[in-house]
Chains A and B, each alone.
Chain A
Amino acid sequence: MQTEYSLWTRDPEVELLPLVRELGIGFVPYSPLGHGFLTGQIRSVEDISDDDWRKSNPRFVGENFQRNLRIVDEVEAVATEADATPPQIALAWLLAQGEDIAPIPGTRRVARVEENTAADRLLLSVEQIDRLNNLTPAVGDRHEEFYMARIDR
């Protein structure tokens, strides 16, 4: 079973994750780094090129984008404390959600795959996980309406 699940998309916790566990099946979170947003590498809408579909994603536009940066700030604070990088924190938090979760962070760069896989060895403290659990919720829908209507059926 594969769907979007990350620090800023926690919808599966309501129904899907409990169902998956009840049925004893695995869970593959996609976009575990929030389409790159949780890496802290995208700091301004100008960082996104015009041919990039994120440009019109509700979470990446206008005031939503600015407000969602607070989430990145909070993740970065935990990263600094844990001597890790923001994507490693986002992945370690996902892995801490259970032994039945296998995220698939996407990248096309060697350096990023090295960074991402190192999250396997990162153990967050209870207090850090607690802080991450209480992040400011994301502002904006996951996708534009047309795409959303097709996703969870």
Chain B
Amino acid sequence: MDSPHQPRVRSYLMKHIFLGGLNVSRIGLGAMTMAGVYTSGGGLDDDESIRTIHRALGLGVTHIDTAEVYGPFHSEELVGRAIKGRRAEVVVATKFGLISHTGRDPGDLDSSPASIRTAIEGSLQRLGTDYIDLYYQHRVDPRTPSKRPWAPWPSWSLRARFDSSAYPRPAPVRSAVPMPCTRSLRCRRNTPCGLGTQRSNCYL
């Protein structure tokens, strides 16, 4: 599959900015409604959703945002279908933590390492890729405390993926970040940050 490290040459149709180490078009595309999260409006039109993603790419959008919980899973599946063969053109952001993969009650938040591992596998498969550019923790899980609140899921659960021989380098997750994070950011401001900011388990 495409490597996230390969040089990309393109003329930008739209202004770009940096999110941490990720270069993105400053207008992205949210794929939540494609799974009918507000309303299905009497039915979903997957073909139109995919045309929408293709049109976005054609207009210079390079940042697509989805989550396993949208649908659930349907939004990621549509994004995967739409970017097939074009993976290197886009920064794909997805999210974990709102679906429990360890048997907690439906609706319970789950950022346990086991749940994250299953979530990553599922997202990679649906997105048809071997790496996620930007992986958000969708909600903080109060049952999975962290000594480092700015990286509130146990960092080894992601690092384990990086070191796993099951994956070719680079890491399957380029950037991981807590999404709802006023407290996390406050904490980080007051905490020496010795970790890299690109292509490792880091923060945007």
In chain B, positions 12-63 with a C-beta closer than 8 Å to chain A are 14-15, 17-20, 22, 24-34, 37-42, 44-45, 48-49, 51-52, 55-56, 59-61, 63
Q: Is B139 part of the binding interface, using a Cβ–Cβ cutoff of 8 Å?
A: yes
B38 to chain A, nearest CB (A): 5
Given the contacts A101-B17, A114-B59, A106 and B32 also touching, CB distance less than 8 Å? yes
- Report how many residues on chain A are interfacial, defined by Cβ distance under 8 Å: 47
List, in ascending order, chain A residues with CB within 8 A of B37's CB.
53
Q: Provide the bound-state CA to CA distance between A18 and B28, in Å.
A: 22
B178 to chain A, nearest CB (A): 8
- Main secondary structure on A side of the interface with B: mixed
Q: Provide the bound-state CA to CA distance between A16 and B182, in Å.
A: 6
Q: Is A119 part of the binding interface, using a Cβ–Cβ cutoff of 8 Å?
A: yes
Docked-complex contact A20 and B185, CB < 8 angstroms? yes
Q: Provide the bound-state CA to CA distance between A2 and B20, in Å.
A: 12
Q: Is A116 part of the binding interface, using a Cβ–Cβ cutoff of 8 Å?
A: yes
Q: Provide the bound-state CA to CA distance between A36 and B188, in Å.
A: 33
Interface pick from A65-73, A78-86, A145-153: A145-153
Q: Provide the bound-state CA to CA distance between A108 and B34, in Å.
A: 5
Q: Provide the bound-state CA to CA distance between A128 and B177, in Å.
A: 34
In chain A, positions 90-135 with a C-beta closer than 8 Å to chain B are 91, 95, 99-110, 112-114, 116-117, 119-120
Q: Is A35 part of the binding interface, using a Cβ–Cβ cutoff of 8 Å?
A: yes
List, in ascending order, chain B residues with CB within 8 A of A26's CB.
17-20, 22, 204
Closest chain A residue to B54 by CB distance?
A110
Which single member of B45, B109, B136 contacts A2 (CB below 8 Å)? B136
List, in ascending order, chain B residues with CB within 8 A of A105's CB.
27-30
Docked-complex contact A91 and B48, CB < 8 angstroms? no
In chain B, positions 155-204 with a C-beta closer than 8 Å to chain A are 177, 179-183, 185-186, 188-189, 203-204
List, in ascending order, chain B residues with CB within 8 A of A100's CB.
17-18
List, in ascending order, chain A residues with CB within 8 A of B60's CB.
117, 120
Q: Provide the bound-state CA to CA distance between A110 and B134, in Å.
A: 25
Interface residues as binary, B86-130 with A (CB distance below 8 Å gives 1, 0 otherwise): 000000010000000000000001000000000000000000000
Q: Provide the bound-state CA to CA distance between A27 and B29, in Å.
A: 15
Given the contacts A49-B39, A108-B48, A110-B55, A19 and B30 also touching, CB distance less than 8 Å? no
Docked-complex contact B40 and A51, CB < 8 angstroms? yes
List, in ascending order, chain A residues with CB within 8 A of B93's CB.
2, 28
- A to B CB contacts below 8 Å, 10 in the list: A1-B185, A95-B26, A100-B17, A106-B29, A110-B51, A113-B61, A117-B14, A152-B180, A153-B140, A153-B183
Interface residues of A (CB under 8 A from B): 1-3, 15-16, 19-20, 22-23, 25-28, 30, 35-36, 48-49, 51-54, 91, 95, 99-110, 112-114, 116-117, 119-120, 150-153
Interface residues of B (CB under 8 A from A): 14-15, 17-20, 22, 24-34, 37-42, 44-45, 48-49, 51-52, 55-56, 59-61, 63, 65, 93, 109, 136, 139-140, 142, 177, 179-183, 185-186, 188-189, 203-204
Given contacts A1-B179, A15-B182, A150-B180, 8 further A-B contacts (CB under 8 A): A16-B182, A49-B42, A51-B40, A52-B38, A108-B52, A110-B48, A114-B59, A117-B59
